[in-house]
Structure 1
Amino acid sequence: MTTLDLGVVGNCSFSALIDPKGRVVWCCLPRFDGDPVFNALLRGEEDPGEGLFSIELEGLAETEQSYDSNTAVLTTRLHGASGSLEIVDCAPRFFWRDRIFRPQTLVRRVRPISGTPRISIRMRPSFAYGTVRPHRTRGSNHVRYVGPEMTLRLSTDAPIDYVLDETFFNLSAPIDIIIGPDETLEGSVSQIARDFEERTCSYWRNWVSNLALPYEWQDAVIRAAITLKLCTYEPTGAIIAAMTTSIPEAPDSGRTWDYRFCWVRDAFFVVRALNSLGTVQTMENYFRYLMDLVADSDGGHLQPVFGVGRERHLTESIIDNLAGYRGMGPVRCGNQAYEHYQHDVYGNVILGATQIFFDRRIQMKPTITDFRLLETAGEQAYKVHNTPDAGMWELRSRSRVHTSSTLMCWAACDRLAHIAARLGEKARVTYWRERANEIKERILAEAWSEKRKAFMESFGGQTLDASVLLMAEVGFIDPQDPRFVSTVDQLEKTLATGPYMMRYEAADDFGKPEVSFNICAFWRLDALARIGRREQAREIFEALLKTRNPLGMLSEDTHPVTGEMWGNYPQTYSMVGIINGARRLSKPWETVV
């Protein structure tokens, strides 16, 4: 049965998902939101042999999978009656000629580790979302897979005839396979594969060595940090929400969405989490992306989600020929959320840019012109803070004045006041502080429900929503404020099941949610720690870590009964929660060193 126990390899340009049998089941090219040339993940159970790239072991009996320590290089071991083998997968990433080298290339190194394993190489890409089988041509040491808009080249020192015919043969010596653009390799396959792997391992270990880690849960934090880094699209600075489309939020729910785009909201949380570990390059790249978005809006409406190349139109369509994850469609390409009004976007833009005005480590220096540009987003935040929108959960059939949206409008004005103070713009400090105070008073008056003793999901509403937990996280309210403490208590009673946390209690477009939204569970433990219930928060955190897959990854949702992962994968929001939780709850270094 298909699961989300998938390894992730990538290089901040593209990525591939590899299952426990060493099969590449998902890979989009030429970038995250491109054509899934390997799409077995969404083909359903009745079509398991297509849309993948596998190294099949005859008589496979057992598998194991792990990352090389502190890297994004994945090792899969297959064991069977004829012997055992090891597959090492990496997407090359390293410094070359004074810049980052990150080709759209996957390196697969295969070697026997016991006996004489019999293997078959099965390279079965497809194009145009699985509708076009490639035309194949062969060379001395390569096979070309020709599609309507791209051509893949497989170069290998394995027998080409065996690759083309998927013939089983004895793996008596190591072989190497390089998949990438239709370009001739400048050297032997084995030499290039070895060099790419070694230099990629060195890059990631050096990157990890510069992380400011908490004392506890370091392995979990390192894996989360690498995964978040892999979700960045370095050519533009965009950060995707997840690498997949259409993994359902719950079994047979119809809640299938395409998350291969840059949500300004999600990206802010990613940048902040990586910043907390001391890696600021992602923030610099994302700041450029943000400032271009703000400039494009010309002081007007900002949509909540964009393509990784800042594409504005992400027209949503159904891909009928793909059955979906476990046959649970529909499979979607594009996301209608680009048409939404989600007013929290303005706060997330300004929150995402704020640190760059204060952090002395950052080489690029923002200017007063950058501040003036951000002020245009702030003006929009103030203008719309008391108007209905789709909210952060992107409801498609109703509009309200959502508390979380107005909260982020407050954050936009509040942070602009702080930036103005940093720049010595006293008049602008007063201007933005007055607006922030006005919005704050409105939230406190209109979002609080005396009947339910909690802040509600919308102004004048009567239902609970976990997003109000962000009030403490963005500095809106003192965590010890009795109203916030009471809100946490009420949310736990209504939305929590063990360590899990639902998003909201009201039915949405598809009915009442049945799965836990992972980031809400992390917001909960953060709030508990802030109000003084640290031990309870630690217990929840430990329980949430146990819900990760064997490689340390989380998707968007967890089923509170079965513990199974659902939703798109790997989900940046969820991986952010691991970093934030560990930093919030870890014992300080000073107490143990």
Structure 2
Amino acid sequence: MIKHTYDMGVIGNCAFLALIGTDTAVRWLCWPRFDSSFVFGPLLDEQKGGEYSIKPVDANFTSEQRYLTNTNVLSTTITTPEGSYRVTDFAPRFLQYERYYKPLMLIRKVEPLTGAPRVRVACRPVGQYGEQELTRRRSSNHIAFLGLEEEIRLTTNIPLTYVLDEEDFALNETKYLVLTYGAPLEAPLESTAERFLLNTEGYWRNWVKSTSIGNFHQTQVIRSALALKIHQYEDTGAIIAASTTSLPEAPGSTRNWDYRYCWMRDTYYTLTAFNNIGHFEEIERYFQYIANISTKVVGKYQPLYGIGGQATLTETELPLAGYLGNQPVRIGNDAYTHIQNDVYGQVLVALLPLYTDCRFRDPERAVPLSLVEECLRLIEATMDQPDAGLWEFRHIAQKHCYTYLFHWAGSHAARQVARQHGDVLLEEFATRLLQEAESRIEQCFYAERGAYANAIGSTDFDASTIQLITMGYLDPASEKAKHHLVELEKELKTPEGLFYRYRHPDDFGTPETTFLICSFWYVEALACVGRLDDAIREFEHLISYANHLGLLSEDVDAKTGSQWGNFPQAYSHVGLVNAAYRIAKKLDRPNFVS
């Protein structure tokens, strides 16, 4: 069987993201926000998705794509029988006037390298997910595309006639293309593009220098950190699961979801990743996003919210062809209506540093202590309520072990806060809930196998229970923890070393592909229980499932090694960062436990 990979690179500046194919085509770009309609979306429909490419006339070409070292600046080199050229793509980001300059601007630098290659530039943005064609207006040195809320403008030193007519031309000098949404480029083209490129390279390299990354597979960890960084929507601090929608978990599965939102259930892992690489700024912004949502919640938390904190994310299907013909194409995500009760513990664990970390002593940013009590009351109210669980089952409700784990962890965090503030009543409340959650977790213990099942009364296994070890509920040095991990291996690990989320049927049948973050959880657990050699071996195997640029998808087909699911998947990169950190700590301090 043919191995499927996403042959694309991602660029971004914390205001927008774009996916660039190895043929120079912009496969995906949403403006003005991560969750807006695409303006280029051939990833989901070649006919309706518009086009923005700088392709050679000769179809017989080869391509080499790489990132400039320690940056999110992408370089694609095209070689044809006539000659070769390089396209450098980037989203400007650098410090200016004591703020980050991060415009809705995609800059493309096109350099001839050898010979006299002939190229053809196409630029046809669209609106309303391909339903709206834009009007073109030619000006002196730019082309304006009209019809959206704001103007899209292409400023270039390529003859506009060649671009408008999509006529090929000889590339014999460096050309620049600056595409903007809203505020246009009103400065010299060549010198500004070069200055922005230099400043953007400098910004990313300084950002990498400020990370705390050990020597264990440092290159891959850096790439994952860079990818994770640009999935944060800096305006609000939200971190999205992925930049795309409707890339299928497996071909023909109809498991095609919109991941351009912020899942509360993943806050703990994401914040842990940024903490592990020593990046406080991103943590602080994410805290602010979570705290903002927390202070306006009434009654219950949703599993996910929009990047601006929107609560309603109505799921609809679009009349698009779909990625490689996979339908439906969905925008919005009905999971916002689900009951996922682990979210309360996630919020408490995530917000813990706001109350206990001395770096957050700004009283204007303080979160009311009543928020902790409110989350505890929600844990108390839902202690015996079945829910959709971590994996968002649409028609299955159980009393999930993972939910109780976060009831336990959240209560533990709340108790720390109470002690810090000398609130005896709150401490007693948190302690009681912690003990209740622990009793429910033990009800999930499947004595016949000597391991924890996915839910009370169930005999099915779920990779999320790996977290019983990595979060410290089970002593990683105990035989119980080691045996639990062995039983999960028997049930969920493939011969290729990958992990399924679960193997029992759900609303859409039995999962066909493995889930990468579960495999990284497994690596962490191996390190925790002292199987360090196994952890290293499995980690090194997992990173082989990255694409040519080191980018990870959500899912992997164990038999073919194919990438599936939305891409790049921020939480796969979170998993990699956390697993590498766990191993590095063990290598540095062999006696370190957990």
Q: Are 1:403 and 1:468, in contact at CA under 8 Å, matched by a contact in 2?
A: yes
Question: Are positions 1:491 and 2:488 aligned together?
Answer: yes
Shift of 1:226: 0.8
Shift of 1:196: 1.1
Q: Which residue of 2 aligns with 1:13?
A: 15
Alpha-carbon spacing, 1:308–1:367, altered in 2? closer, same or farther (3 Å): closer
Q: Which amino acid aligns with 1:459?
A: I
CA contact (8 A) 1:500 1:518 kept: yes
Please give the per-residue CA displacement for 1:42-79, whole angstroms capped at 9, x wherever unaligned.
Answer: 116xx4x9522100112241100111111111111000
Corresponding residue SS for 2:568: coil
Deviations 1:433-470, CA, capped at 9 Å, x for gaps? 222122112211x1001123210111111100000111
Partner Cα separation in structure 2 for residue 227 and residue 577 of structure 1: 12
Task: Report the CA distance shift for 1:375/1:442 in structure 2 as closer, same or farther (over 3 A).
Answer: same
Matches within 5 A, 1:213-252: 213-252=213-252
Are the equivalent residues in 1 in contact too, given 2:384–2:399 (CA < 8 A)? yes
Structure 1 residues 369 and 53 mapped into 2: Cα distance closer, same or farther (>3 Å)?
closer
Amino acid at match of 1:455: Y
What CA distance in whole angstroms lies between the structure 2 residues aligned with 1:571 and 1:323?
22
Indicate how the Cα distance of structure 1 residues 538 and 365 shifts in structure 2: closer, same or farther if over 3 A, else same: farther
On the 8 A contact 1:243/1:569 being kept in 2, the answer is: yes
Q: Distance in 2 between matches of 1:247 and 1:232?
A: 20
Q: Does 1:452 align with 2:456?
A: no
Any idea what SS the aligned residue of 1:206 has?
Answer: helix
Name structure 1 gaps, 5 residues minimum: none
User: Counterparts of 1:183-222 in structure 2 under 5 Å?
Assistant: 183-222=183-222
Counterparts in 2 of 1:499 and 1:82: CA distance versus 1, 3 Å: same
SS of residue paired to 2:324: coil
SS of alignment partner, residue 154 of structure 1: strand
Residue 144 of structure 1 pairs with residue 130 of structure 2: no
Q: Hey, what's the Cα distance between the residues in 2 that align with 1:421 and 1:182?
A: 50
SS of corresponding position for 1:500: coil
For 1:64 and 1:148, the matched residues in 2 are separated by 35
2:292: which partner in 1?
Answer: 292
> Which residue of the partner structure matches residue 472 of structure 1?
469
Whether the 8 Å contact between 1:40 and 1:52 is mirrored in structure 2 is yes
Alpha-carbon distance, 1:181 to partner = 2.1
CA contact (8 A) 1:385 1:405 kept: no
Distance 1:173 1:369, change over 3 A: closer
TM-score by length of 1: 0.96
Further displaced range: 355-364 or 137-146: 355-364
How far residue 132 of structure 1 moved from its aligned partner, in angstroms, is: 1.2
- Counterpart in the other structure of 2:422: 424
Contact 1:240–1:259 (Cα < 8 Å) also in 2: yes
State yes or no: 1:376 paired with 2:378.
no
Judged with a 3 Å threshold, the aligned counterparts in structure 2 of structure 1 residues 118 and 228 are, in CA distance, closer, same or farther, namely same
- Distance in 2 (alpha carbons) for counterparts of 1:291 and 1:148: 33
3-state SS of paired residue (1:370): coil
Could you tell me how far apart the structure 1 residues matched to 2:247 and 2:290 are? 28
- The structural deviation recorded for 1:333 is 0.5
Name which of 488, 507, 510 aligns with 2:508.
510
Which residue in 1 is equivalent to 2:128? 128
Once the two structures are TM-superposed, the CA of residue 40 in structure 1 deviates from its matched residue by 0.5
How far the C-alpha of 1:291 sits from its partner, in A, is 1.3
Post-superposition offset of 1:364: 4.0
Q: What is the CA distance between 1:361 and its match in structure 2? A: 4.2
Retained in 1: the 8 A contact 2:5–2:547?
A: no
State the 1:253 CA deviation.
0.6
Whole-angstrom CA distance in 1 between matches of 2:140 and 2:276? 50
SS in 1 for 2:133: coil
| 1:385 Cα deviation from its structure 2 partner | 2.3
Task: Name the CA distance, whole Å, in 1 between partners of 2:186 and 2:148.
Answer: 26
User: Which residue of the partner structure matches residue 305 of structure 1?
Assistant: 304
SS at 1:92 equivalent? coil
Mapped contact 1:215–1:588 kept (Cα < 8 A): no
SS at match of 1:255: coil
Could you say which residue in structure 2 is the equivalent of 1:40?
42
TM-score, length-scaled by structure 2: 0.95
Q: Structure 1 pair 16/369, CA: closer, same or farther in 2 (3 Å)?
A: closer
Task: After superposition, give the CA deviation of every residue in 1:497-516 in whole Å (9 maximum; x if it has no partner).
Answer: 12200001210111111111
Residue 262 of structure 1: aligned partner: 262
1:271 lines up with 2:268 in the alignment: no
Which residue type is aligned with residue 14 of structure 1? F
How much is the aligned-residue C-alpha RMSD, in angstroms? 1.8
Could you tell me the percent identity over the aligned residues?
39
State the shift of 1:430 in Å. 2.7
Q: How many residues align?
A: 585
SS at match of 2:129: coil
Indicate conservation of the 8 Å contact 1:106/1:179, yes or no.
yes
Q: What is residue 404 of structure 1 aligned with on the other side?
A: 402
Which residue of structure 2 lines up, in the alignment, with residue 63 of structure 1? 63
1:527 aligns with 2:529: no
Aligned equivalent of 1:436, options 416, 434, 437:
434
| Aligned CA distance change for structure 1 residues 241 and 364 (closer, same or farther; 3 Å) | farther
> How far did 1:566 drift?
0.2
Q: Secondary structure at the match of 2:582?
A: helix
- SS of residue paired to 1:250: coil
Question: One-letter code of the match for 1:5?
Answer: D
CA distance in 2, matches of 1:518, 1:353: 26
- How far residue 272 of structure 1 moved from its aligned partner, in angstroms, is 1.3
Could you tell me whether the CA contact under 8 Å between 2:93 and 2:102 is conserved in 1? yes
* Conservation of the 8 A alpha-carbon contact between 2:31 and 2:181: no
* Aligned position for 1:159: 159
| Distance (whole Å) between structure 2 residues aligned to residue 83 and residue 190 of structure 1 | 23
Change (3 A) 1:364 1:167: farther
Deviation of the 1:424 alpha carbon: 3.0
Answer whether contact 1:452 1:462 (CA < 8 A) is retained: no
Q: Name the residue aligned to 2:335.
A: 337
- What letter matches 2:531 in structure 1? R
* d(CA) in 1 for partners of 2:92, 2:102: 6
SS at match of 2:266: helix
Q: 1-side partners of 2:363 and 2:528: how far apart?
A: 33
Q: Is the 8 A contact 1:515 1:560 kept in 2?
A: yes
Q: CA, structure 1 residues 524+516, in 2 after alignment: closer, same or farther (shift >3 Å)?
A: same
Alpha-carbon shift at residue 362 of structure 1 (Å):
4.8
Per the alignment, residue 283 of structure 1 pairs with 283
Task: Tell me the distance in 2 between the aligned counterparts of 1:457 and 1:590.
Answer: 33
Q: Distance in 2 between matches of 1:513 and 1:63?
A: 34
Name the SS of the counterpart of 1:554 in structure 2: coil
Q: Which of 137-146 and 186-195 deviates more?
A: 186-195
Whole-angstrom distance in 2 between the partners of 1:361 and 1:66: 38
The CA distance in 2 between the partners of 1:100 and 1:271, in whole Å, is 22
CA pair 185-98 structure 1, distance change in 2 beyond 3 A: same
| Cα displacement string for residues 526-556 of structure 1 (whole angstroms, at most 9, x for unaligned residues) | 1111111111111110000111001111010
Between the aligned partners of 1:86 and 1:228, the Cα distance in structure 2 is 26
Bigger mean CA deviation after superposition, 471-480 or 71-80: 471-480
Cα deviation 1:303-344 (Å, max 9, x = unaligned): 011000011100000001x11110111100000000001001
Moved more, 268-277 or 135-144: 268-277
Q: CA–CA distance in 2 between the matches of 1:268 and 1:309?
A: 20
Q: Offset of 1:589 from its aligned partner?
A: 5.6
- AA matched with 2:145: Y
Q: Secondary structure at the match of 1:314?
A: coil
Q: Is the alpha carbon distance of 1:374 and 1:64 closer, same or farther for their aligned partners in structure 2, counting shifts above 3 Å? A: same
Residue equivalent to 2:576 = 578
Relative to structure 2, which stretch is displaced further, 423-432 or 553-562?
423-432
Distance 1:164 1:564 in 2: 38
Q: Secondary structure of 1:555's partner? A: coil
Seen in structure 2, the aligned counterparts of structure 1 residues 215 and 406 have a Cα distance that, compared at 3 Å, is same
- CA–CA distance in structure 2, aligned partners of residues 224 and 183 of structure 1: 31
CA 1:194/1:575 → structure 2, altered by over 3 Å: closer, same or farther?
same
In structure 1, the residue matched to 2:91 is 91
How many angstroms does 1:134 deviate by?
A: 1.1
Comparing 578-587 and 89-98, the one that deviates more: 578-587
The 1-side partners of 2:292 and 2:145 are apart by 37
